[in-house]
Amino acid sequence: MYHSFSKGTYTQLKTAAGCLLHCAKKQPPETMPTPLSAQIEAIYRNESRRVFATLIRLLGDFDMAEEALQDAFKAAIEQWPRDGIPDKPAAWLVSAGRFKAIDGIRRRARFTAYDDVAETIEAIADETPAPDEREELEDDRLRLIFTCCHPSLAPDTQIALTLREVCGLSTEEIAKAFLTPAPTLAQRIVRAKAKIRDARIPYQVPGRDELPARLESVLRVIYLVFNEGYSASSGATLTRHDLSQEAIRLARLLQELLPEPEITSLLALMLLHESRRVARTSESGDLVPLDEQDRTVWNAELIAEGVALVQRALSSGRAGTYSLQAAISAVHAEARRADVTDWGQIVGLYDALLQLEPTPVIALNRAVAVAMHQGPQAGLALVEDLIADGHLQNYYLAHAAQADFHRRLGHVTEARAAYVRALALTQQEPERRFLNRRLAALA
């Protein structure tokens, strides 16, 4: 059985934390030290995936690392109320998890040859880097990404496994990003972890000679992580800042290791998107579309860094898909007002992007740019063709774009039907409120 911390598990952990704190302190519920409980919950949210990745490096097994992680947090919930939270809680959790794993191996020793048990325990206890690790990044989550993105796994499986194991996204969140049924994703993840275990896929960053060939999947993973944080697939809030920051951090680490134009471009793209985060929602948490955002609150520092990175990547003469997407974001970022955006240049960049990556979602984005450049009728024709072909019939943004074009053309009945269809496909609450406002305004 394979396990991963999902949102449900996190809720259970919080409940267990409260119960264990009562037991540890022998206090009635009304005197429970809630600030300490909140601190432990925050440490779980911020550190659990880092601790998990390190435990995988030490233990060499997903299941053993997951069990050790849960045991470590259980020990923390029992001991920290009495002893206080350590100065370095992540290191404490790694150490506790490692020793809990060793204890578990010893308890099961009667079913295993003694020499095998001793060898396993010795390997777990030794944290000294091997000599050939001199060029590897000292970041276990990045190592875990490369393990999950091993070429022996299918591309979609690589991304799903990484989003689940590195970032702790639920199966439902990943399925939403993939436009794939959740049960299909769950089976894919289980099979992938079994293959990693059976094939003894190494837990390491590949050497420099192998690294370029392995980057494409890793970059896709990082960008999907960022997108989940920048526009959450479901829930009460539009964004998850922690995920976006994690993706940016991982991209910076990759750039230090291998300053390739596409890594630079991906970092630029994420920084330019991130620069608009504050303006994307109102004080009440409602979605604010790009053309209505207060551009004075865009982060000028992130824009300057992002634009400089785009220029550096394009000057290399090896522009790829992320370079073109970053260039599109740079055009938006440099427009002081929405009505002076150079939509003609954006359409041209999308034309080039479609040649490199002819996907329905990019075609949809191009259709929106065409509508802004040539008028809503031109964009509507393109979107309706995409929906009619079946590529985006279950993608809410396609129906939302269709509804917006009908609204701008005065087609009230058609706009209403498209908004209703988009609402039926939307799980993100601020997006639903935005669509409902547009739908109500039609009346």
One digit per residue, the tens of pLDDT, for the chain of length 443 reads 333 333 333 333 344 343 333 333 333 333 444 678 888 888 888 888 889 988 988 888 888 888 999 999 999 999 999 899 998 898 999 999 998 888 877 776 665 554 454 444 455 545 533 433 323 334 788 888 889 888 889 888 888 888 888 877 788 878 876 668 899 999 999 999 999 988 888 888 888 778 777 888 889 888 988 887 777 554 445 556 777 888 898 899 888 877 889 999 999 999 999 999 999 988 888 889 999 999 999 999 999 999 999 999 999 888 799 999 999 999 999 999 999 999 999 999 999 999 999 999 999 999 999 999 999 999 999 999 999 998 899 999 999 999 999 999 999 999 999 999 999 999 888 889 999 999 999 97
pTM above 0.95, yes or no: no
Residue 430 lies in a domain: yes
Rounded to whole angstroms, the maximal C-alpha distance in the chain is: 78
Residue 345 lies in a domain: no
- Total domains present in the chain: 2
Residue 34 lies in a domain: yes
Distance in angstroms (rounded) separating the CA atoms of residues 404 and 381? 13
Domain span including residue 365: 358-443
End residue of a domain, out of 107, 128, 149 = 128
Residue 276 lies in a domain: no
Q: What is the CATH number of the domain that holds 428?
A: 1.25.40.10
Residue 401 lies in a domain: yes
Distances (CA, A) of 48 to 61, 86, 313: 16, 15, 35
Distance in angstroms (rounded) separating the CA atoms of residues 435 and 396? 10
Distance in angstroms (rounded) separating the CA atoms of residues 266 and 337? 25
- Dihedral, CA atoms, 144, 164, 41, 103, nearest 10 degrees? -60
End residue of a domain, out of 103, 128, 153 = 128
Radius of gyration, alpha carbons of the chain: 24
Residue 73 lies in a domain: yes
Residue 420 lies in a domain: yes
Residue 399 lies in a domain: yes
End residue of a domain, out of 84, 107, 128 = 128
